[in-house]
Structure 1
């Protein structure tokens, strides 16, 4: 379960540099343990590390301290390993894997091999409003039993997951892909969908205001839906309208997210915070100042960040103006054949390409044959055409995924060191962040660049997101908590995936337990599935 966090006072401790915790060594109940991890260096969440044991029985931790009493069915020697809570990833695109009919896909091994035991889906406005189906709680005859609900009793999952209801999915269901405002009746229908999704366990409302057709939503529409989520104790999760200089600009987009949060009286979470593109490089400090000013005024605001300089998106989202996407793909293709539309579109595509850093900065990770693992510049040269023409030719065939190299290391480090920024992956196919984000953050920003120490990295990936999002019993190693536990080798925990080879498992994660189920043993998957859906409990009395 996920509890509701609605007040500033409930979250203030999250932004402290350290947390005072009870001394380790909570007594283990009688009856022994199923498993003891013995002699590892324990990072229990945010507290200082110590060497000791973690005992587990069933799906719960029964002891954390210097020496577990009693006996266990099995003891694992964790000497030399870091023992920590399972990582919590608050921004992912693994809903498709979790919905798969293939049990192997539902294990989500790219996450388990990094130590991720809990993920959030439905982000960027894509969250299906039928949350009851997603969690498998829909009743027969209500679109639940017998359909592809993620949480049906016949489904086994490698990881735990929570889910947002998304503006994009709600808008598509009621308004469609058109660039227009909803009618009052349609807005009422949309808020009703959000309200029901929240009562069925949604974490909150997610938006992807950068993407068409969500970009057509005006601020008032978003506030109305956010109020519906707020009434049930939810969170407003925002892919900003502009992380660069496409429309209103980065700082204005942050202001918009903050004002939506204030007007709707809802906590704000900024997804994959960044300064994207040459026009806004160096603006991280200005964004940090905006957010921390809002926090000082009593507003609840936090963010997540993936540890890569390249984002992942679609070629059309990166380059096409939003008006060119009005009405969806069929309308877009018609505009490609309209000389007047193209006369208007070409210079805008060229400008978007400039702000992204030029054609060499866009690596095609999925697309038509002959384009994958090549930059847009490479494709243009091979075809002896302008990069704009190359992009249009690719999009005529089908949408392409791109890794867009658009961030600077000083901006990445500035965001990463703020206590209200937690680790995420934004995991999506074709980008190494799916297989390697947590391993990369450790190897690059803890070991190599020393932007963070190990304790901060673990806190940002466990205890802090658990408290920010109200995940009861997760994110900490303590007696009574759920047994989401990892143990990794600090010398070998590292990514293998890169932009040319994005689907390679990380190394060095030795043991992973999800709700007490051993999912990774000596670095190898066991095939066991211990994950579960995590519906959020609505605010008391808000659902009837």
Structure 2
């Protein structure tokens, strides 16, 4: 690793190691010595990081002073703790089991902060979720979106129609309250019913409310393929929502899903670049896998058949007058996905089997097999549907950050950050090490508006990851998705060691992170 020029090193040392509040007058609690430090958003250097309490108090080449404990990081990479902007980990964070609440799959990858409530599934009662961390300690920091799907289902139900004026007013009131309780913004999953029954004006109204409260709009696009409006039109809609609502927009798990849209990444990148050039804050996250994760119903059943909810869908499957139309739509959607061999069932009786295998075992065709599975429940599936050229094209963009979309049955829970480093940095060199770290830390913190995290900087919270550049990698696979990553040596959360030598310490030092709206926007901002 190249050293900084002497003059620059002296300047950096002078600016970074002068601790605030008399920090040099007493020993440090922790001192991380001799690692190659990637501070997040700045050039790397070889040096040290000193921590007192939950904050970084000194950083730079050759920090002077003693510490209660020193960690030898020679030969290691030292970075800010990674920030995951899109997860489905609420169940882990609220689990009665204290060990599960440590969120080992994330700590083993250096993830110290995660966002929940994505895809429109965020809670309405944000305060209850965030307050829970005080009652049941967690291993990582977390923030939350309120969800359009949750809100729409509560106000309108499963009906395929626009809201009345009164219903829209009630929806926006829920968004306003959630923002006052600490939500980062509002998330949508416009691909999923009943959110998919909405039109743009409804979404704009709710997004505008979140924007007025200083929040952001996080979205699973209405179409990542060519199911309905098509990928390009869905991106256009998202950009229009951001413009009309006056809100930053973050596209979740950006991709070109399915054989019909492979190769579209450059055209989508051009659309985003044009919007950014026009002054809109448009960003995206991405997970480094060629397979997505969703449900059997969402991947195969046509939208019109979901009007009214699950029971209405099941009735259509039993009705001879409608069943054939449903089957035709399912066959078209299976073709989009690439065929029965591309759907791996992630839960239930057929867990670990491809739909093609299930059909063979049932001595029937894939659509009949899928319907039989759906009748028992809406199982999760892993869907192999992306092209590597599109994955790499999106990954190279400076406005695309790392995310996992962590959900059960998919290796992205246990391996997304580790895989991105091992495969796309070390092996394929799609990204530089600095780009990987910056877009897993500082850039993500800036997008989400998370203060004092995502950078190794004096005064910032001490969320730190120390990993071996030669061995940090994912072990999770599609066949064995729950294998923890390797190569992460030490992880520090809010100044406390949460993982050491690749093993949990049992420390639950995570915190709930609340967004604070601008002054005067909430009746009581003492929270």
Q: Which TM-score band applies after superposition, normalised by the shorter structure?
A: over 0.9
**After superposition, where does 1:130-149 map in structure 2 within 5 Å?**
130-136=125-131
Counterpart check, 1:518 vs 2:497: yes
Kindly tell me the number of residue pairs found equivalent between the two proteins: 508
1:403 aligned partner: 382
- The Cα shift of 1:376 comes to 0.5
Find the partner of 1:502 among 453, 463, 481. Answer: 481
Cα contact 2:17–2:63 (8 A) shared by 1: no
**Could you tell which deviates more after superposition, 336-345 or 116-125?**
336-345
Find the partner of 2:509 among 507, 526, 530. Answer: 530
Deviation string, structure 1 residues 429-456 (Cα, Å, up to 9, x no partner): 1000000000000010001111001111
**After superposition, where does 1:88-487 map in structure 2 within 5 Å?**
88-136=83-131, 150-151=132-133, 153-367=134-348, 369=349, 371-487=350-466
- The Cα shift of 1:162 comes to 0.7
Deviation string, structure 1 residues 213-232 (Cα, Å, up to 9, x no partner): 11001111101111110110
1:32 aligned partner: 27
How far apart in 2 are the matches of 1:88 and 1:62? 21
SS of the residue corresponding to residue 500 of structure 1 reads coil
Task: Give unmatched runs, 5+ long, in structure 1.
Answer: 1-21, 137-149
Find the partner of 1:541 among 493, 500, 520. Answer: 520
Deviation string, structure 1 residues 328-380 (Cα, Å, up to 9, x no partner): 2212211111011111111110000001011111111113x1x1111101111
How far apart in 2 are the matches of 1:500 and 1:540? 50
1:72 aligned partner: 67
How far apart in 2 are the matches of 1:540 and 1:402? 44
- The Cα shift of 1:259 comes to 0.4
1:5 aligned partner: none
SS of the residue corresponding to residue 360 of structure 2 reads helix
2:81 aligned partner: 86
How far apart in 2 are the matches of 1:109 and 1:316? 30
TM-score, scaled relative to structure 2: 0.95
How far apart in 2 are the matches of 1:530 and 1:341? 54
TM-score, scaled relative to structure 1: 0.92
Find the partner of 1:58 among 42, 45, 53. Answer: 53
How far apart in 2 are the matches of 1:198 and 1:398? 34
How far apart in 1 are the matches of 2:196 and 2:359? 29
SS of the residue corresponding to residue 106 of structure 1 reads helix
Instruction: Please state which structure has a larger fraction of its residues in helix.
Output: 2
Cα contact 2:112–2:140 (8 A) shared by 1: yes
How far apart in 1 are the matches of 2:153 and 2:377? 21
- The Cα shift of 1:323 comes to 1.6
How far apart in 2 are the matches of 1:220 and 1:366? 37
How far apart in 2 are the matches of 1:278 and 1:521? 43
SS of the residue corresponding to residue 498 of structure 1 reads coil
Deviation string, structure 1 residues 36-86 (Cα, Å, up to 9, x no partner): 111111111122211111111100011111112111000111111100000
